[in-house]
Structure 1
Amino acid sequence: MVWMTAAEALKVLNVRPQTLYANVSRGKIRAKTDDADPRRSLYHRDDIARMAQRSNGRRKIDVVSAQAMQWGDPVLPSAISTVHNGRLFYRGQDAAELSVTATLEDIAMLLWQSEPGQPPSLPLADSAAPIVTDSALGAGLLALALRSAGDPPTLGRPAADLRAEAACVLATLTQAMAGPPTAGACTISRRLAQAWQRPDAEDMIRRALVLMADHELNASTFALRVAISTGASLAAGVLAGFTTLTGPLHGGASAEFGRLTAAAKLHGAETAIGQWLASGRPLPAFGHPLYPEGDARARTLLNLLPKMEPYAALAAAAEAQAGELPNIDFALTLLAAAHQLPDDAPFILFALGRCVGWLAHALEQVQANHPIRPRARYVGPSEGIY
C-alpha cells in the first residue's frame, strides 16, 4: 500500500496528530483525500518512512546528548587529561606518579604545552595591589572579576602571548587566595605553607595541588570552555570556572563534608551517615562516577596521611551504608585536619590547583575558534508551535 491512514502513520511516527498535520502543511508529507471516506486523509508511505527515520535519529541524538551532560559519553575532544582504568593521566602521564616529585608549576608547563626553550614565566606575584577581604573565596572572585573587566579577548591572539597571560592570571588568583609572596617562596605550595605557617605540610600541599590540576571535562572546566569559546578573556573564563567550583556538588563539597564531620563528632559516624542519607542529600566526599573502585587521587593522598577520627569511622560507615569510598574532597579535608590548616584550605587547594587545568583548557579551546552552543530539547507547552 502506497497510502496510509492517520492511525497507521501516527503509529509509525510515534508523534501527536498535530505534528503529523504540521508536516503535511509544510509539504514534508504528501496527503490526499481517502476515496472511501472523503472526511479522512491518507498519507504517503515513503514520506512517513523518511520522517520516521529522521525522528528516530533525532531522538537518539537527544538521548545521547542528554546523557552526555549527566556522566555520559565525552562531548568535547581534549588532549589535556583523562581518567582510564581508574587512573588519572595528564597528557598521557600518570598524575599520581607525577605528584611524587612535580610542583604545580611543572604541571603548568606540561598542560600548557610550552614550546621547547620557551617555558611560560610564572610570576611570583600579581602587579596589582593585594585584595583584602574576609575570605579567600571573596578575594579570588574579586581579583578575577577586576581582571575580567580589563583584559583583552582571547580571539585571534598568538599562543605564546596567551601562555604568558595565563601565568599572570594564575599569579593573580594565587596572590588573592594566598597573599603576597614572602622571601624564599618560589612555588605556590611553599607560599601556601608559609601563609598557613605550616612548613612541615609543604610536601603534602604540593602533592595535593598536582593531583587537583585537571580532571577531564568537569562542571567548572566546561563552564570555562563555554566562556572562552565566545572569545572571552582568560580571566573571564577562569572566573566562570571559579564560580562554578563553589557549588556544593563540586569544589564546595569539602564545606558540606565539614558539616557531616561535625555531626559525626556529636552523634557518631554511623548515625551521621544514616541521617544524611535519609535526608536525600548526596553524600559529600564519598564516591565518584569515574572511579568505581575508589578515587585514585584520594588514595594517593590517603596513603600518606594518618588515620584520624571521626574520618576513619565516617569512611567505614559510608562504605557499609552506601557502598561509597572516600574521594578527593575527603582526602583534602583530612589533609587540612592532619596539618591543622585553615578551614577553607581544601577549597583553596582545589581552586589553585585546578586553575592550571582551567587555563590549559582555555588555551586548547581558543584553537577551536567556534562557540560552544548546544541546542535545548524543548519540553514546554506546544500550543501555538505546531
Structure 2
Amino acid sequence: MSDDLKKGLEGVLVAESELSSIDGDAGRLIYRGYTIEDLARGASYEEVLYLLWNGHLPTEDELEPFIEALLEEREVDDDVLDTMERLAAAGERPMAALRTAVSMFSAYEPEDDADPEDLDATLRKGRRITAKIPTALAAFERYRQGEEPIDPNPDLGLAANFLYMLTGEEPDDVAAETFDQALILHADHGLNASTFTSMVIGSTMADIYSAVTGGISALSGPLHGGANQDVMEVLIEIDESDLDHREWVEQATAEGRRIPGFGHRVYNVKDPRAKILQERSKELAETGEDKWYNYTTTIEQFLTEEKGLVEKGIAPNVDFYSGSVYYQLGIPIDMYTPIFAMSRVGGWIAHVLEYQAENRLIRPRARYTGPQDQAFVPLEER
C-alpha cells in the first residue's frame, strides 16, 4: 500500500467507468463514446439520460415510454410545495431548498422498502428524483416572486417545461433548444467532487435519495458549482461601470483581479462545452440583447490573445458562457447552480448505479501527523 500523499486525490484512480471521458489537452468530452458536440446538437436531454442510465441511445420505441415515465413522475407532493413556500418566505438559498426538497421526496417514494441491491428499483427512484427536481425548483422560485407554482405541461420536454413552470410562458424554439443543450452539457463530467460524493455515499449502499442529496451538498460549494453565477455578476458589474467593457477588463487584470470562468482542473484548452454555449449565446443575441455576448467575447479575446492565458493552460470553461446564456433566458442568477444540479443528477445516478453493480465500500486513509505516546492525566488532575 503506497504512502504517497495525494492532496485532493489528485491523479488517483479510484474506479473504472464507461460513462464519460475527458481529454484535457485535446478539449474532448465524450459520454459512452459519443462526442459532446454530437449529443448536444443531435440529441435531447431525455435521450442523454437514457444513454447514461441504459448504456445506449434509445430507439424511438424505447424513447417514447421512457419520456412517458418521466412525465408521470413530475408532480411533487403538496407537503413538498408547502415546504418550498416556507423556505422561500424565510429567504433560504436555492441550493439549500433543493437539498431539502430531494430529502423530502423519499418520504413519498412508493418503493421505499426496496432492497438496496435492487439496482432496477434504484434506477426507478432516480428517475423520479430527476423528474421532480425541475418542478420543486420552479415552485421555489415562483414562491420567491410572490406567485403560485405552475403545474407541469405534459406537452413539453424536461427543459422547455422547466422554463415554462419558471416564467409562466412557453419558451420559443431557440430558448428551449438552448436550455436543453445546456442540460446535456452538464449531465456528466467524470469524477468531479459532487459525483464522487454521490459515489462514496452509494458505496455504503445508502439509498439514491441520500446519494443525490450528498451530490447537491457538494455542488453547493463555491469551488465547484458557483462559477457561472460569479461570471454573470462580473458581467453585470461591467455593464454598470462607467468604463467601456474592454477598458474594464484591462483595469481589472492590471489590478490583479481574477476573472471567473477561466481555467479548469482538467482542461488545459478551451472547454468544448464553452464552445457550444458560445454559439448559443450568439444565437440568443441575434434575437435579443447582444451586449452580454459582446462582453464575453471581448473578455475572452483580451485574456487569450493579449494576456496569453491559453499558453499558460488557462482557457474559458463551461461556466464562462453558461452564466450569460442563462441570464438571456431570464433565469435568476442564484438559480444557476441548482440548474447545474438539475442536469448533473443524471450523471450522479448513473455513476452510483455503475459503482454499485460491483460495489466496494470507498474507504481511503489519512496519514496521521499528531502526537505519539501522550501520557493520560485523570480529569481531576488536569
Do they fold alike, i.e. is TM over 0.5?
A: yes
Aligned to 2:298: 313
Instruction: State whether structure 2 residue 262 is matched by structure 1 residue 290.
Output: no
Indicate whether 1:240 and 2:205 are aligned: no
- Deviation string, structure 1 residues 65-104 (Cα, Å, up to 9, x no partner): x15713x243221111111332111111112211113222
User: Could you say which residue in structure 1 is the equivalent of 2:205?
Assistant: 231
What's the CA shift string for 1:156-214, capped at 9, x where partnerless?
43222121111111123222113454334432111122123461311100111011100
Deviation at 1:325, TM superposition (A): 2.2
Structure 1 residues 366 and 112, CA gap change in structure 2 (3 angstroms): same
Query: Match for residue 69 of structure 1?
Result: 9
- Look up the SS of the partner of 1:89 in the other structure: strand
Residues 99-123 of structure 1: CA deviation (Å, up to 9, x unaligned):
1132221111111117998765323
1:43 paired residue number: none
| Offset from partner CA, 1:116-157 (integer Å, 9 cap, x none) | 987653234134123334254343111112235676488643
Native 8 Å contact 1:285 1:330 kept in 2: yes
Structure having greater relative contact order (Cα 8 Å, sep ≥ 6): 2
Q: Quote the residue 1:11 is aligned against.
A: none
Q: How far off is 1:286 after superposition?
A: 1.1
1:58 equivalent in alignment to 2:31? no
- Name the aligned partner's letter for residue 157 of structure 2: T
Using the TM superposition, give the Cα deviation of residue 328 of structure 1 relative to its aligned residue in structure 2, in angstroms. 0.8
Percent identical residues: 29
Match of residue 42 from structure 2: 101
Cα offset, 1:219, TM superposition: 0.4
1:362 maps to 2:352: yes
Q: Which ranges in structure 1 are unaligned for 5 or more consecutive residues?
A: 1-56
* Mean CA deviation greater in 195-204 or 340-349: 340-349
Per the alignment, do residues 191 and 203 of structure 1 end up closer, same or farther by CA in structure 2, a change over 3 Å counting?
Answer: same
From 104, 128, 143, the counterpart of 1:146: 104
Going from structure 1 to structure 2, the CA distance change for 1:302 and 1:154 (only over 3 Å counts) comes to farther
Q: From 130, 138, 154, give the equivalent of 1:170.
A: 130
Question: Aligned residue for 1:258?
Answer: 232
Within-5 A mapping of 1:123-202: 123-129=72-78, 130=81, 131-132=84-85, 133-134=87-88, 136-148=94-106, 152=112, 156-179=116-139, 181-194=151-164, 195-196=166-167, 197=169, 199-200=171-172, 201-202=175-176
User: Which residue pairs with 1:5 in the alignment?
Assistant: none
Higher mean C-alpha displacement, 138-147 vs 80-89 = 138-147
CA distance in 1, matches of 2:372, 2:261: 42
Distance 1:350 1:127, change over 3 A: closer
Which residue of the other structure, out of 252, 272, 280, is the alignment partner of 1:272? Answer: 252
Larger Rg, first or second structure (1 or 2): 1
SS in 1 for 2:201: helix
Inter-partner Cα distance in structure 1 for 2:114 and 2:55 = 17
Does residue 331 in structure 1 map to residue 321 in structure 2? yes
Q: What is the rounded CA distance, in whole Å, between the counterparts of 2:100 and 2:204 in structure 1?
A: 22
Tell me how many residue pairs correspond in the alignment: 320
Which residue is 1:6 aligned to? Answer: none
Check conservation: 2:123, 2:353, Cα contact below 8 A: yes
1:353: how far off?
A: 0.9
Q: In structure 2, do the counterparts of structure 1 residues 283 and 155 end up closer, same or farther at CA, with 3 Å as the change threshold?
A: farther
**Comparing both structures, which one devotes a greater share of its residues to helix?**
2
Cα pair 1:298 1:330 within 8 Å, conserved: yes
The two structures have a TM-score, normalised by structure 2, of 0.75
CA contact (8 A) 1:212 1:350 kept: yes
